[in-house]
Chain A
Amino acid sequence: MQTAVIVFPASNCDRDAATALEKLTGKAPRMVWHNDPIIPDDVRFVVVPGGFSYGDYLRSGAIAANSPVIQDLKRKAEAGLPVLGICNGFQILTEARMLPGALMRNTNQKFVCRISRLRLANAKTRFTKRYDAKNEIDIPVAHHDGNFFADDDTLRRIEGNGQVVFRYVDNPNGSRNDIAGIVNEAGNVLGMMPHPERAVDKLHGGTDGIPLFKSILESL
């Protein structure tokens, strides 16, 4: 199964994502540079990784959202290609309007770096069906701008549609409704602040990220 990781200047979780994908698919992902106008046609799943693309200049993810590769990603995602945006990748997907809302500065002003416990708000998505909805999972967070905001109407809409996928048990950043991750309406684009690619090996301290990758890869 061919997967891909998008690489921006100052991405720093691209190799973590690649390692996780290779471990779970047995095949190295294509590393697609931000200036490439096209994501190769054999790619069936794309990860937009964490980091500080373009130094977080202007707003986290704002410049990356306008890069050539994201224009192609948008077209392909609209045609159904599954996409996972992690941390800075989530910020990029909201800035690109591929997901609703925005990620703002954490309310406590601190960079938060720790294991976060998550509840499955929707265990029926293509990204979560391998999880037991009753179980809480431990996935690391590491961000300064993870405070999810959407206006009241948008919040009602995404809650009503079951687009909220993960919630923090102990909200580390002030996110509205404790939201840690959401999918688009079609269900093929997931954005989340926690890092599932950092929870796929016992040496990571936990493996709760594995069912997420397995869920989406099995759905292809």
Chain B
Amino acid sequence: MIARVYVGLKPGVLDPQGRTIANSLNDLGFNEVVDAKQGKVIELRFAESDAGRDAVEARVKEMCEKLLANTVIESYRIELDEE
């Protein structure tokens, strides 16, 4: 099983890197871009186990709350994939 964790800034938190990316795209002529947000993807691979999807997801949620995201400024989304 693989879990993909998408971490990004919460709405309302100014994203200076996203802003710079949007400006740069505008400079390159992509004028249709009005905003960009930058985040990160963390891919986790798990050892074989009998744990069901719900159990895995609960564990990954705990990882997000404890370390992978700073919930003061970031939100996260979890995707699970069979390998």
Question: Closest residue to B66 on the A side, CB-wise?
Answer: A66
Question: Closest residue to B38 on the A side, CB-wise?
Answer: A105
B72 touching A101, Cβ below 8 Å: yes
Contact of A174 among B14, B68, B72 (CB under 8 A): B14
Chain A's nearest CB lies how many Å from the CB of B66?
Answer: 7
Residues of A in contact, count (CB < 8 Å): 21
B72 touching A58, Cβ below 8 Å: no
- Bound Cα distance A107, B23 (Å): 13
A104 at the interface (CB under 8 A from B): yes
B72 touching A109, Cβ below 8 Å: no
A58 touching B67, Cβ below 8 Å: yes
A66 touching B16, Cβ below 8 Å: no
- Bound Cα distance A112, B57 (Å): 40
B17 at the interface (CB under 8 A from A): yes
Question: Closest residue to A104 on the B side, CB-wise?
Answer: B73
Chain A's nearest CB lies how many Å from the CB of B65?
Answer: 11
Counting contact residues on chain B (CB < 8 A from A), the size range is: 10 to 19
A106 touching B67, Cβ below 8 Å: no
Could you give, for residues 1-28 of chain B, a 1 whenever the CB lies within 8 Å of some chain A CB and a 0 otherwise?
A: 0000000000011101100100000000
Contact of A66 among B20, B67, B72 (CB under 8 A): B67
- Bound Cα distance A109, B38 (Å): 13
Contact of A95 among B16, B20, B70 (CB under 8 A): B70
Could you give, for residues 128-149 of chain A, a 1 whenever the CB lies within 8 Å of some chain B CB and a 0 otherwise?
A: 0000000000000000000101
List the interface of chain B (C-beta within 8 A of A). Answer: 12-14, 16-17, 20, 66-68, 70, 72-73
- Sorted nearest first, the 3 A-B pairs with minimum C-beta distance are A102-B72, A107-B16, A102-B73
* Extra 7 A-B pairs, beta carbons < 8 Å, given A95-B70, A149-B14: A62-B67, A101-B72, A102-B70, A104-B16, A105-B17, A106-B16, A149-B73
